[in-house]
C-alpha cells in the first residue's frame, strides 16, 4: 500500500486555550512493501501521525493518501470502514483491548465487524493464530487467563485476522523481556516478508530500526527531521544528538574506534562477527590505512 503525506498539519482543540499543534507541515512518502521505522521522542507527533493512517484523525490541513483513499480537512471519508479493514494498527499494549470470553471470539471480532462471512472467519482465526505462533488449544480459553506475552499475541492476531495490507506497529515490544522482544520483532519481520505487507514501526529502539527497517523517518516536535535509509540516517550522529536521540550502539562504537585509532572504519551493515574481524585487523596492525 502506497502512502503519501502532503503538507499535513494537525491541531488538537483548535481555537481554545488548549490549542496544540501536534504535526506541522509534514510531507513524506512510504512505498508499498517497505518496512518503515518512525522514531521520535514522546510528544514528537508519532501517535498523531499513525492515527491518520486509518482515518481516526483527519488532517487539519494538507492531504493524506493511503492507497486509493484520501483524507483531507474538507470532508469526511466515505469509505472509512473499508480503509480500516485494509490498515491494521497494533496500538501500544494491545492486550488492553481484549474483551471477549474466548480467544477465538476476540480474534474473530475484527473480521466479523468488517463483514467477513462466518465460514471464512474460522479459517482466518486459525491463520492468525498460527502467524502469532500460538497453539490451537488456546482458542477456547479466556484471553484473561493467559500470560502477558500470550495476551499480546492474541491481540495482535485480532488485528492480523482482518488481513490488512498495511500493518502499523506502535511500540509493539514495550514491557516485554528481552527474549520476548526479540521473538516479537522476528515474528513481525517474518510476517512482513511472507505476506508482502507494508509495515510501519513506531519505536524508541534504534537497534530495532537498524535491524528491521529499510526506511527511517525521524520526527522532532511534529516535523520531519531526517529521512532515509537506516545506515545513512543513523550515521548522522551530530544531527541526532541535536535532538537528544542516540545512535545504535554498533554505530556509536564504530565512531569511538575511529576516533581512538584514527582509522577509516565505517558502518556498512556488518554483523558483530564481521565487525570483530575488522577490529582484529586494526588492532593487530594489519590495517592498510595506518
Partner 1 sequence: MNNAFIIGQYVPGESIVHRLDPRTKMIIIFMFVIVVFFANSIWSYGLLTVFSLLCALTTRIHFSYILKGLTPVWFLIVFTLLLHLIVTKEGEVLFRIFSYPIYSGAVAQGAAISLRFFLLIMVTSLLTLTTTPIEITDAIESLLQPLKKIRFPVHELALMMSISLRFIPTLMQETEKISKAQASRGVDFRTGTAKERIQAVVPLLVPLFISAFKRAEELAMAMEARGYQGGEGRTKLRELKTDRLDIIVYALFAFVVILLFVIRD
Partner 2 sequence: MGKNVMKFQNVWFRYGEDLPWVLQDVSFEISASEWVAVIGHNGSGKSTIAKLMNGLLFPQKGNILINGLEVNEETIWDVRKQVGMVFQNPDNQFVGTTVRDDVAFGLENRGIPREEMIRRLKSSLAAVRMEDYELQEPHRLSGGQKQRVAIAGVLAVSPQIIILDEATAMLDPNGRKEIMQTVKTVKERDDVSLVTITHDLNEVTLADRVLVMNEGKVWMEAPPKNVFAKRDELKEIGLDIPFVTKLAAELTDRNIFLKTEPLNHDELLEELWRFHLNR
Residue 115 or 285: the one with the smaller Cβ distance to partner 2 is 285
Query: Considering beta carbons, is residue 184 or 250 the nearer one to partner 1?
Result: 184
- Assess contact for 62 and 74: CB atoms under 8 A: no
Give the residue from 48, 55, 54, 64 showing the smallest Cα distance to 3: 64
For partner 1, which stretch binds (CB under 8 A), given 12-20, 123-131, 244-252, 270-278?
Answer: 12-20
Task: Spell out the alpha helix ranges (H) of the chain.
Answer: 46-51, 80-86, 103-113, 118-131, 148-160, 178-195, 206-212, 230-233, 237-242, 249-261, 272-283
Backbone dihedral angles phi then psi of residue 189, each to the nearest 5 degrees: -65, -40
Pattern 137-176, partner 1, x by CB under 8 A: -------x-------------xx--x--------------
Q: Does 258 help bind partner 2 (rule: CB under 8 A)?
A: no
d(CA 98, CA 8): 32
Contact positions with partner 2 (CB under 8 A) in 261-280: 261, 272-273, 275-277, 279-280
Nearer to partner 2, 61 or 252 (CB): 252
Distance between CA atoms of 219 and 26, rounded to whole angstroms? 9
Distance CA 252, CA 235 (A): 9
What is the closest distance, in whole angstroms, from the C-beta atom of residue 54 to partner 1 in the complex?
A: 6
Residues at the site binding partner 1, with contacts judged by CB under 8 A: 12-13, 16, 18, 51, 54, 56, 81, 84-85, 87-89, 91, 94, 96-99, 109-110, 113-114, 144, 158-159, 162
Amino acid at each position: 500500500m502506497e502512502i503519501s503525506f502532503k503538507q499535513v498539519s494537525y491541531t488538537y482543540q483548535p481555537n481554545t486555550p488548549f490549542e496544540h499543534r501536534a504535526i506541522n507541515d509534514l510531507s513524506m512518502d512510504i512505498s508499498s512493501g517497505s518496512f518503515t521505522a518512525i522514531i521520535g521522542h514522546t510528544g514528537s507527533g508519532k501517535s498523531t501521525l499513525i492515527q491518520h493512517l486509518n482515518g481516526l484523525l483527519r488532517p487539519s490541513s494538507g492531504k493524506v493518501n493511503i492507497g486509493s483513499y484520501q483524507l483531507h480537512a474538507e470532508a469526511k471519508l466515505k469509505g472509512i470502514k473499508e480503509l480500516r479493514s485494509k490498515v491494521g494498527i497494533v496500538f501500544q499494549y494491545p492486550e488492553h483491548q481484549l474483551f471477549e470470553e474466548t480467544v477465538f471470539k476476540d480474534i474473530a471480532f475484527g473480521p466479523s465487524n468488517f463483514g467477513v462471512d462466518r465460514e471464512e472467519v474460522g479459517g482466518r482465526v486459525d491463520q492468525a493464530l498460527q502467524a502469532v505462533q500460538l497453539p490451537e488449544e488456546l482458542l477456547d480459553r479466556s484471553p484473561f487467563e493467559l500470560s502477558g506475552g500470550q495476551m499480546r499475541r492474541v491481540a495482535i492476531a485480532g488485528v492480523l485476522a482482518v488481513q490488512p495490507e498495511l500493518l502499523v506497529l506502535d511500540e509493539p515490544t514495550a514491557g516485554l523481556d528481552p527474549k520476548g522482544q526479540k521473538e516479537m520483532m522476528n515474528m513481525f519481520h517474518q510476517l512482513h516478508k511472507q505476506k508482502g505487507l507494508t509495515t510501519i514501526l513506531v519505536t524508541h529502539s534504534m537497534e530495532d530500526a537498524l535491524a528491521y527497517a529499510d526506511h527511517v523517518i525521524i520526527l522532532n516536535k511534529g516535523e520531519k527531521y531526517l529521512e532515509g535509509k537506516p545506515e545513512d540516517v543513523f550515521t548522522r550522529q551530530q544531527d541526532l544528538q541535536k535532538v537528544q536521540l542516540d545512535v545504535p550502539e554498533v554505530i556509536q562504537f564504530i565512531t569511538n574506534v575511529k576516533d581512538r585509532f584514527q582509522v577509516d572504519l565505517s558502518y556498512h551493515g556488518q554483523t558483530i562477527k564481521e565487525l570483530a574481524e575488522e577490529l582484529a585487523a586494526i588492532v593487530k596492525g594489519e590495517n592498510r590505512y595506518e
